[in-house]
């Protein structure tokens, strides 16, 4: 699924959080929103998700205007830094949660739910944790389960907001590589928020550099490194 963001504007009171944002997220690619704290990354991601509404501008999924479509109808998987797992549910129950909420005509049978959970546990390389509880897992393992949960409903779009932000540097790096591999395997259109330029350079097909609610530059990591369009971009990518 491709995403078109057209002239999106968002203010909170007098504060302009997003100013005339336009960009296209290509089908099947991993695009990151990169920029300093407060530049509007999460706000933009929430508007794409339908968790927040823009003051003006349009959002299109595969050319269809979803600007006024509620979040439940957008077929999106989410993963956030502090999107905690349900403490009193097993790992399998956590992953199956979204599947059990699907409307009757789209809900898989219990046997198929179990198959899907097993497949996802294999995919995130934690096949033995089916009956474990979240407190028995490391932070990195929990984020992998959170990704399995986000993927359970076969989303057409995966949104990741600083998914590894709370983890230490070594685990972050491992999970980055892992995420990249999973993304290549599944080919689901994905948008990830980060303020870490190294992380963005490492995982992205495309990077959207944001500053003060505006897009500074969009390009592949190579394009940005070879041709930063402003001092801000060069500075933020540590090129100076």
Positions that interact with Mg ion (CB under 5 A): 42
Contact yes or no for 8/188 (Cβ under 8 A): no
Site string for ligand ATP, 167-206 (x = CB under 6 A): ----------------------------x-----------
Residue 183 touches which member of ligand ATP, Mg ion, none, C-beta under 5-8 Å by kind = none
Q: Output the residue with the shortest Cβ distance to Mg ion.
A: 42
Q: Does 14 bind ligand ATP (CB under 6 A)?
A: no
Q: Does 207 bind ligand ATP (CB under 6 A)?
A: no
Of 75 and 211, which has the nearer Cβ to ligand ATP? 211
Question: What contacts 24+ positions apart, CB below 8 Å, involve 162-166?
Answer: 162/80, 162/81, 162/193, 162/194, 162/195, 163/79, 163/80, 163/81, 163/192, 164/81, 164/199, 165/81, 165/194, 166/81, 166/82, 166/139
For residue 18, report the phi and psi dihedrals to the nearest 5 degrees.
Answer: -135, 130
In this structure, the chain runs to a length of 240
Question: For ligand ATP, how many residues bind (rule: CB under 6 A)?
Answer: 11
For residue 145, report the phi and psi dihedrals to the nearest 5 degrees.
Answer: -65, -40
Residue from 42, 189, 197, 204 in contact with ligand ATP (CB under 6 A):
42
Residue from 14, 37, 111, 128 in contact with ligand ATP (CB under 6 A):
37
Of 118 and 202, which has the nearer Cβ to ligand ATP? 202
Of 33 and 153, which has the nearer Cβ to Mg ion? 33
Q: What is the DSSP letter of 205?
A: S
User: Candidates 39-47, 99-107, 126-134, 222-230 — which segment interacts with ligand ATP by CB under 6 A?
Assistant: 39-47
């Amino acid at each position: 699924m491709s995403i078109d963001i057209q002239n999106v504007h968002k203010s909170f009171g007098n504060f302009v959080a997003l100013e005339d944002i336009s960009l296209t997220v290509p089908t099947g690619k991993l695009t990151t929103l990169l920029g300093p704290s407060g530049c509007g990354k999460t706000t933009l991601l929430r508007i794409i998700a339908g968790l927040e509404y823009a003051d003006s501008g349009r959002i299109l999924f595969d050319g269809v205007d979803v600007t006024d479509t509620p979040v439940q109808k957008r077929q999106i998987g989410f993963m956030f830094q502090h999107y905690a797992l349900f403490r009193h549910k097993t790992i399998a129950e956590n992953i199956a949660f979204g599947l059990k909420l699907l409307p009757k005509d789209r809900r898989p049978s219990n046997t198929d739910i179990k198959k899907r959970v097993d497949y996802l546990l294999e995919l995130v390389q934690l096949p033995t944790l089916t009956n474990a509880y979240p407190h028995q897992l490391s932070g990195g393992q929990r984020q992998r389960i959170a990704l399995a949960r986000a993927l359970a409903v076969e989303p057409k779009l995966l949104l990741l907001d600083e998914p590894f932000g709370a983890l230490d540097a070594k685990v972050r790096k491992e999970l980055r590589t892992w995420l990249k591999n999973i993304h290549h395997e599944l080919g689901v259109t994905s948008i990830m928020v980060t303020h870490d330029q190294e992380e963005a350079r490492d995982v992205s097909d495309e990077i959207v550099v944001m500053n003060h609610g505006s897009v500074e530059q969009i390009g592949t990591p190579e394009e940005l490194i070879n041709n930063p369009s402003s001092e801000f971009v060069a500075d933020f990518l540590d090129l100076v």
